[in-house]
Amino acid sequence: MEWLVVVIFANLMDGVYVFTDPVFETRTECMATLTDEEHIKKYISKLVVEYGRPVPIQAVNCLQVDEIQRIFESVFTDNPKEIEI
């Protein structure tokens, strides 16, 4: 299974961000990056580039790709085939 870092922002306007790079083979490997200073800096830098500003974060977690897909399908669309990660 592939694991990805998922960020949930503190406001609804910015929603959710899924890091598609890097991809991890295990949840343990993915979760270890969430407390590693070098990885945190890279994640934050990428978010600032994407959003053009610092964005308040509510939560960060690691999820399997199929679980992310399932959540997006159930929340964001009536047609599950429209969303690809």
Domain boundaries defined on the chain: 3-82
pTM: 0.84
Low-confidence ranges of the chain (pLDDT < 50): none
DSSP, collapsed to helix, strand or coil, labels residue 8 as strand
Q: What pLDDT does 85 receive?
A: 55
Q: DSSP labels for 50-63?
A: HHSS---EEEEEEE
Q: What pLDDT does 77 receive?
A: 66
